[in-house]
Chain A
Amino acid sequence: GDSVTQMEGPVTLSEEAFLTINCTYTATGYPSLFWYVQYPGEGLQLLLKATKADDKGSNKGFEATYRKETTSFHLEKGSVQVSDSAVYFCALVPPPGSARQLTFGSGTQLTVLP
């Protein structure tokens, strides 16, 4: 079945540091890929997404590129802020024609120190 593997945390960085959170997936065909962010005590918010190979999703300074050849969708940000402290989830949805349920990775806790 489909699965998502993401970098285990927790990750602790200083403000303005470069962030990478790795995410790889296993799925048939071309799934859609997502990064969600969860701030403390809240639900999930969509951060960015990509629906086909080589697409780059971006939002709030975060970026991720859909790499079919490496089945990856790594999340990056050039300069993190304290307000980026949250849990980040990589997820996929299979292509149309199959059960369209989100499959989540285990989540990566990010803490940014001032």
Chain B
Amino acid sequence: GAVVSQHPSRVICKSGTSVKIECRSLDFQATTMFWYRQFPKKSLMLMATSNEGSKATYEQGVEKDKFLINHASLTLSTLTVTSAHPEDSSFYICSARDELAGGNNEQFFGPGTRLTVL
């Protein structure tokens, strides 16, 4: 099946620094990728939809200047948490849509990135 990777799997940083998280589709092309945030024991919250070659679409309440998304190729999207603060600590999960996997446009999820801001 289709595989999505994320890097790093875990990152600890100091408050005020920026952190970049990569999401790659390894064996398929994805014009659309999604970034989610998951709080402990909670469901996934969609942050933004990343579109290859164009600007990301952010969900209401998500600061686009805080969470920078770049989808420069059909296999890579990056999420940069700028000037991170402790409240940004969370589990970030990306998914990629396989546009060619039948008519269902199934999404495949990465393993997640645990961000801890000290």
Contact = CB atoms under 8 A, between A and B. Distances in A.
Interface residues of B, number: 23
A44 B109 CA distance: 6
A104 interface: yes
Interface in B1-51: 4, 6, 34, 41-44, 46, 49
Contact of A101 (B6, B43, B49, B112): B49
A100 B44 CA distance: 16
A22 interface: no
Interface stretch (B66-74, B82-90, B98-106): B98-106
A96 B111 CA distance: 27
Interface of B: 4, 6, 34, 41-44, 46, 49, 93, 95, 97, 103-112, 114
14 contacts: A43-B109, A44-B44, A46-B106, A46-B108, A49-B104, A51-B104, A93-B107, A100-B97, A101-B49, A104-B43, A106-B42, A106-B43, A107-B41, A109-B41
Interface of A: 32, 36, 41-46, 49, 51, 89, 93, 96, 100-102, 104-107, 109
